[in-house]
Structure 1
Amino acid sequence: MAAQIAELNHVRIEHNDAQHQQRENDGHHSHSHVSETIRVDVIHPENEKEGTDDHVGPFTKEVMDFELPKRFTLPLTLTPYDGLGDPKKFLKKFRSIMIVNGASDTILCRCFPNYLDGPTLEWLCALPAGSISRFQQLAKLFEEHFAGSAIYLHDSDYLNTIKQGQNESLKDYMTYFTKIAISILDLHPEVHLHALKSGLRPGKFQETIAIAKPKTLAEFWERAKRQIDIEELRQAQKSDRTTYRDDDKTPTSKKGFKVTPRFDSYTQFNAKREDIIKEILNSKLIKPPRKAGTYQDTKNVDKSKYCAFHQKHGHTTDDCVVAKDLLERLAAGPP
């Protein structure tokens, strides 16, 4: 391989090896620089000066002939760019870290390949030979080529744009929020929590969070989980009420109408369904339905049977299809 590419790869390999060694010997490196750095001895291949004048590689001969300061230090705080993420932000981080370490424009050019990985490094090596003389040239080409990569990843600022919809359940809001949050690298928990709270729809739960002031995501999730359970109980009750209203429209000539079970099998609870229903009603998590429905003949009601859920005679709580469906949904939990 040509001397220029060989040198780029050599410095990059030393940089990667130094990173690994740095993690194992944390605390033993020099603190002479503001950012975390590793000292790299610049080695010039013996055949570099003996080679021909054929110029291979993106940088001009002037850039490659520039002698780096003795025992120049490469910062370790920047993760190599692999083609994912905003190239503008990467360039900004690279410049700021290198400038703090006293890097000139030529040094920026020489060090930039060390912070590229995979397809981005291949892109750099494929640029026209001797076409880059200043870092600004390289930065412009880099930004233009990888501009499309910015759309694939969100950053923490994007979380502040996520708001709970007027009719969106807390569960749906948190599911979408979490999906975006886990795709953000190095997301700080405090930033995560602040954005999550800020996106809540105005209402009782938002007021509860404002008063409780959870300091961790775990604390917030515990309160959110209880609220989600309450919302799902209310939704189940609302669905049952809709069923009853539909039943009220059934012609009176249809005798013996029965509610169709929604499940093929039901969970066997340790306690009786009647006791569980009573406990839920007593806790006021849900309210009893207003009507029992028209599936029972009110003229010939069996007074020996009573449903704690409908609070009417005619069938038992254990045989009540609506109550059994409700408990089954609650037992199954979130889908």
Structure 2
Amino acid sequence: MRSLMPDQPPPQVEKFDGTTNPDHHLRNFIDFMDFYTQSDPVKCWAFSLPLRGEALEWYYTLPPNSVDNFRTLMGMFKKQYSTNRYEEVTAAELVNLRQGKDETLRAFMHRYNHAARRIKGDSPEFIISSLPNCLKAGFVSKSLYAELPSTLDELQQKMAKFIKMEDQRIFRKQQHEEHPVNGNKKEGKRRVDNARDQKPPANLNTRYDRYAHLTVPREKVLERALQSNLIFQRRKFPPKNVDLSQICRFHNSGGHTTEGCQTLKDELEKLIRAGHLREFVKEESARAGHSPRKTRRSPEHAKQKGNHSRDRSRSPPRHRSRS
């Protein structure tokens, strides 16, 4: 056997461990060995060199003198690993391939090309014409419908351009999500809404023209009113993204302070005018004749009063009867 070996070392063939397609390994081995030698004994001896793992163990279990030529060895090898062969894809399976809703064009073309290579006997025209129906509806499928490539090479070149366009679009989208533009309109609107939600409702829709001057902070007056059951705390759910650094004890909520709460200010003024909590009112306010019931008249009431005055002024003058 040694006298039959060529002078150069045997070629390096891809390793086979018994888990891949045996036909693929045999084609690689035969192609490499054809440039090395035409001798059957040398091929049989070199056949074990690229084997490893379970495949090498199988080779060592072959009975002595069971291999008379390389063809016999190939038959034994194919039989041992026949379950590893790829099943051929039918034309119907290729036509029924569909691009997923969120599947990229690159990923789908990898599946489509892999299936097309496993079809036996189908023409390139069939592979080209079937592709538009397998793609999801959109720009790529419409472009292929409008002008189908004439060859597989032309198809691959055209699809490579579409894949590059999609990759660039995905990259720009990711960049935009990671680094949004400061002038984004939606972001600006969101900031305005948040600022509006966080703004305390002070001095809006005030109920009274004048308010009593308190000698202590409004929060102290609230505590006395709560202890005397003159007032009850209200539960107000804060809007989203509200500033929780400002807390109102009357509402048990954030977004504004107890001192700046207009609703609490009106409620306390109502109690003071009813004669309660007078110990917290400055003396000058009491001496100034703080009206217990004086409230701001509504515009409708003022309008009605004005109309009534005008109606009286327009009434015809009375004439004394001459006797």
Smaller-chain TM-score range? Answer: 0.3 to 0.5
Larger CA Rg, structure 1 vs 2: 2
Structure of greater relative contact order (alpha carbons < 8 Å, 6+ residues apart):
1
- TM value normalised by structure 1: 0.36
